């Protein structure tokens, strides 16, 4: 009875997404904006400060797939060539679309008509932690809470790849987890989807170049959706999945 009264006291807690306004904390760092006109030739302060080498200069560009969304670049650049916004829309369909050179970004598009007919109303996903630190895994888990309620969109995480329409991979794919990832992928029936969640799964993140990991999802596993972040915010995850399913344009 006490739990029931507490639930009534709290009221309706599920966010009105995607129709309503999404309030994120003031300290939330979303999609960066680049202004190459403020970048001076020969200056590499932002690139040298980046812990994952996500920034290149001449011309200025930033790889969201490797970005940890830390403030190192914007704090180092005194000219304001790189600034953070509160924009949580980060998902992309191709690796190339994650490389920013200005203020615009090509956001994720919907699956083709045939796949939308299969997955559009019901999508079952198996999550694979391929050596992750548990941050991306935790935020994927949070999408199932009453606040975000991913199930209302027909999306559900399942326990077996045999019951799944695709996989969501997290972590830099360590040597010990590479075989498990490939076997999980192989166990999902065709047609299937692959989603890379977090910088580690996309590029290796801070572990890129280590001999103990593959530097993200191997090239022989095709990725259908990239969710940048360290970790991706639950709203960013919802936004990317709904764009993939044609619910958001």
List, for residues 82-116, the tens digit of each pLDDT value.
999 999 999 999 999 999 998 889 999 999 999 99
d(CA 177, CA 199): 17
For residue 157, what pLDDT is reported?
A: 97
| Confidence category of residue 4, pLDDT binned at 50, 70, 90 | confident
Domain extent listing, the chain: 32-88, 113-244
For residue 249, what pLDDT is reported?
A: 85
For residue 10, pLDDT over 80 is answered with no
Q: What is the CA radius of gyration of the chain?
A: 19
Nearest Cα to Cα of residue 35 among 90, 86, 88, 73: 73
* Angle ∠(24,15,242) on CA atoms, nearest 5: 90
Residue 34, strand partner residues: 82
Residue 124, strand partner residues: 156
Least confident of 80-84, 168-172, 178-182, 241-245: 80-84
State the pairing for strand pair 55-56/61-63.
antiparallel
For residue 9, what pLDDT is reported?
A: 82
Region 152-169 average pLDDT: 97
Q: What fold is seen in the domain 113-244?
A: Rossmann fold (3.40.50)
For residue 8, pLDDT over 90 is answered with no
For residue 40, what pLDDT is reported?
A: 87
Q: Domain 32-88 classified CATH 3.30.70.3270?
A: yes
Whether the Cβ atoms of residue 172 and residue 135 lie closer than 8 Å to each other: no
165-179 burial code (b ≥16 CB/10 A, e <16): bbbbbbbbbbeebbe
pTM of the model: 0.94
For residue 41, pLDDT over 90 is answered with no
Same fold, 32-88 and 113-244: no
For residue 150, what pLDDT is reported?
A: 97
Q: Which token pair is 229? A: 């972040």
Nearest Cα to Cα of residue 64 among 169, 203, 177: 203
């Amino acid at each position: 009875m006490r739990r029931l009264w507490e639930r009534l006291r709290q009221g309706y807690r599920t966010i009105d997404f995607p129709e309503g306004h999404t309030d994120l904390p003031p300290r939330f760092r979303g999609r960066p904006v680049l202004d190459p006109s403020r970048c001076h030739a020969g200056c590499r302060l932002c690139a040298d400060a980046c812990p994952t080498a996500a920034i290149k200069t001449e011309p200025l560009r930033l790889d969201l797939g490797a970005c940890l969304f830390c403030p190192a670049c914007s704090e180092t650049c005194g000219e304001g060539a790189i600034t953070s916004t509160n924009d949580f829309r980060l998902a992309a369909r191709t690796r190339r679309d994650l490389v920013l050179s200005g203020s615009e970004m090509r956001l994720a598009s919907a699956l083709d008509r045939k796949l939308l007919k299969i997955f559009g109303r019901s999508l079952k996903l198996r999550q694979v932690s391929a050596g992750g630190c548990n941050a991306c895994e935790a935020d994927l888990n949070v999408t199932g809470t009453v606040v975000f309620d991913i199930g209302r969109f027909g999306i559900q995480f399942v326990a077996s790849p045999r019951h799944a329409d695709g996989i969501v991979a997290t972590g830099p794919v360590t040597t010990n987890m590479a075989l498990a990832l490939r076997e999980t992928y192989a166990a999902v029936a065709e047609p299937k989807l692959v989603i890379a969640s977090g910088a580690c799964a996309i590029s290796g993140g801070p572990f890129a170049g280590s001999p103990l990991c593959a530097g993200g999802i191997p090239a022989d596993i095709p990725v259908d959706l990239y969710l940048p972040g360290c970790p991706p915010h639950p709203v960013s995850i919802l936004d990317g999945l709904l764009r993939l399913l044609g619910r958001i344009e």
